[in-house]
Every structure is written in structure tokens, then in C-alpha cells.
Amino acid sequence: MTYTFVTLFSNLIEGYFKDSILKRAIDKDILKIKYLNPRDYSKNKHFKVDDTAVGGGAGMVMNPQPLFDALDDLKSKDEDVHIIFLTPVAKPFAQNDAKRLAKKNHIAFVSGRYEGIDERVIEKYADEVFSIGDYILTGGELASLVICDAVSRNIEGVLGNAQSLEIESFETPLLEAPSFSKPKNYEGLSVPSEYLKGNHSKIRSLKLALSEAKTKFFRPQQLLKHKVQSH
């Protein structure tokens, strides 16, 4: 998988790939990371990439020209690139999207800054638009990284233990049961006693009950879905 980050601030992104799981995936040639800066395509003599909003309104909006040229250049090199724009005004990104997008060969993430991107760019180039939640970030870089990370975990070879994918929250309507590590007692706090007794069918039933309790508390709508599916 190749990811191209279309951003004015690639240094905000680069550090994330310098350690841990995604770095190992890059070292193994499973992932390739590229950057494209719209400012490099600006025809303005000062390399400006933004201007005041037509029709009024506070703040600056990213101009079409540098982004049109950057994205045309990207598409001329790979016509199959899947272009995703990050914007708070979009469908919320979810685990199903992560799994689906993991099958692509090349994804480009276009990050807005300032008050956002001229809508004509999105209309012309977006294959998809995603929000990562109902709040406003200063730019799309973090949102791109969130999606890139979630997609990458679903690409074969990225995770050391692929089994961990199957038991995670959002693979089923139920949220994952609480996890505990060692020691079994820490500062007077014990892990649930059933976890210690080695009876795997009892541990499974306790985990299911704890999953249901968590889901009921945090995502009541999902618990209803689980009940419908398991009847």
C-alpha cells in the first residue's frame, strides 16, 4: 500500500512513521509513504495557497489552483489512486471503512487547513470524504493519520499477530471485554477471580457478560444490534 499525504505540513506527519508497528511495515516494504505539498504547485509569486472566502465569512480558504495542479499531477502518475478528503462535514470514519480501504493499492489523504478547502476541489477530486468525529481540528493531518493507522492494521503482514484483529471491538457489535496484565494483584487491586482459575469456558462466559455490560453502558444501540443478530 502506498499512502500519499497531500498536506502543507508534512513534518506534522513524518514522526508517526519513525517508530513501532508502521515503521516496521515500511521497513518490510508493506507500506510506502509519500508527501505532496500543494504550495509547491502554487502559481502565486509568493506561493500563497489560501485566500479570503468569496461571499464573506471569517478566515481563509485553501485555493483551488494549487490543489487542482497537485492532484492532477498525482493522478497522472497513478490513475487508480483513491483520493480521500478529510473534513468535519462528512460521514464518520468506522472500522468497516478501515477494512474495505485496506484492499486498495494507493490512497491519498488531502488535509485542509485554515477554514478548509474550496468545495470545488472536493467536488472534482474526492473519491470519498471522511470525518473522524464531531469536533473541529486545526487541520486534516491528524485525521489522515488516524485513518491511515486504522487501515494499515488490516493490511496483511502489518500486525505481528493477525489474530488480535478478530477479537477487537467493532469486529462484532459488542465492545471488547476488559483486559488485564500481570501482576494478578497490584496495590490491592485484583483481576477478576474467574480469569485466574483456568476454566476457559467460564472465562469466555464472564468475558461475554463483561462485553455486554460495557456495550450497554457505552453503546446501547450496538447492544440491541447484537441481540437481534444472536437470535
Q: Which residues bind ligand SAM (CB under 6 A)?
A: 86-89, 111-113, 115-117, 131-133, 135-140, 143
Least distance to ligand SAM, CB of residue 20, Å? 23
Question: How many angstroms separate the CA atoms of 54 and 131, rounded?
Answer: 24
Least distance to ligand SAM, CB of residue 85, Å? 7
Question: How many angstroms separate the CA atoms of 168 and 198, rounded?
Answer: 22
Q: In terms of Cα–Cα distance, which of 177, 136, 180, 171 is closest to 150?
A: 171
Nearer to ligand SAM, 12 or 137 (CB): 137
Nearer to ligand SAM, 122 or 223 (CB): 122
Nearer to ligand SAM, 33 or 110 (CB): 110
Nearer to ligand SAM, 38 or 140 (CB): 140
Nearer to ligand SAM, 131 or 222 (CB): 131
Question: How many angstroms separate the CA atoms of 5 and 33, rounded?
Answer: 8
Least distance to ligand SAM, CB of residue 151, Å? 15
Q: Residue 61: CB partners within 8 Å, gap ≥ 6?
A: 50, 51, 52, 53, 114, 115, 116, 117, 118
Are 29 and 61 in contact by the 8 Å Cβ rule? The answer is no
Least distance to ligand SAM, CB of residue 99, Å? 20
Question: Would you give the distance in Å from CA 203 to the centre of its chain?
Answer: 32
Least distance to ligand SAM, CB of residue 224, Å? 27
- CB-nearest residue to ligand SAM: 112
Question: Would you give the distance in Å from CA 133 to the centre of its chain?
Answer: 11
